[in-house]
Amino acid sequence: MKYVYGPLPSRRLGQSLGIDPIPFKTCNWNCVYCQLGRTVPLTNQRREYVPPEAILAELREALAAHAPGTIDWISFVGSGEPTLHSGLGQLIRAVKRLSDIPVAVITNGALLYDPQVREDLRAADAVMPTLAAGDARLYRAITRPWPELTFERIVDGLATFRQTYAGKLWVEVMLVKGLNDSEPALRDLAAVLRRIGPDAVHLTLPERPPAEPWVEPPDEQGLMRATAILGGLAELVHPATGSVDLAGCEDVVEAVVAVIKRHPLREVDVARALDRWTAGQVAAALETLAAGGQARLVMCYGERFWSYAGAHYATSSTSL
């Protein structure tokens, strides 16, 4: 499948079946912590990158391949910014007609100042935007956005969306050591979050290969400071446990690429996800991936990760 993948264990959504409505790294941010590497080049054009019919056909196939109760959420999340697909609202409504499974959209939230984008997302059961800074300077330093996507626009868009959105608004805060884990940075962020009024604030840490090699998670003191300052709505979201479900894939190479194109995997998790294939098949498939230019091994935080070969990490990242 090209556009539907998983289900994957999600730290916030249980077993999440992913829908990726845009080509790899089609994004209007170039975040320093992005697990899919640098955005080369940035784009802020909304258009129909993928025909909705192609996505829905794959979704029907994936739903038919999984027993009821094995998928907790259907999530629009993938290799870039899903709100750049101009037909996202149509897709969300079509998915809800196909299934009773709740629908989430994981987004950077940068386009929520646009009334059409807000209308598109109103149909989702949960919207999960990112906000990692409480001032314009830090916002630019972390996200390196398309020039028109100013800090004021993202905050105004989030606050306006909150006023009319009846679903769950869960804001993700990615904490990066030395950037947004200081007391002043966290107090500024807390003030902005109070203005927006989300249902929850999820604190997350960089756990996979970041775009920039100097990105690290905060130390214990930084984490304690964040939870104390960001208040009762904030909680640290721990890494998801469980295996990637590849039941709908017949080809092992296709199965691995479908996941790592959106979600780099630890080498041990790749082996666990492919346990229905023999060790020889798995070894041959991984060798084919590396030799064919579809994937590569990357060292990060002392662990080996399989990542998509098209990801642009900083040149000082360690590849194997």
Measured at the alpha carbon of residue 4, what is the angle toward residues 243 and 213, in degrees to the nearest 5? 65
C-beta neighbour count of 183 within 10 angstroms: 12
pTM comes to 0.92
Query: Six-digit token pair at 93?
Result: 């409504």
DSSP 177: T
Query: Along the 320 residues of the chain, how does pLDDT read in single tens digits?
Result: 889 988 888 878 999 999 999 999 999 999 999 999 999 999 999 999 999 999 999 999 999 999 999 999 999 997 999 999 999 999 999 999 999 999 999 999 999 999 999 999 999 999 999 999 999 999 999 999 999 999 999 999 999 999 999 999 999 999 999 999 999 999 999 999 999 999 999 999 998 999 999 999 999 999 999 999 998 889 998 766 666 666 556 677 777 788 888 888 888 887 777 776 777 877 787 788 778 778 888 888 888 898 998 899 986 445 55
Q: Is 177 exposed, middle or buried (0-12, 13-18, 19+ CB in 10 A)?
A: middle
Q: Could you tell me if 112 and 169 are in contact, meaning their C-beta atoms sit under 8 angstroms apart?
A: no
C-beta neighbour count of 14 within 10 angstroms: 14
Helix-then-strand count for the chain, H and E: 10, 12
Alpha-carbon gap, residue 320 to 311, rounded angstroms: 14
Q: Could you tell me if 82 and 106 are in contact, meaning their C-beta atoms sit under 8 angstroms apart?
A: yes
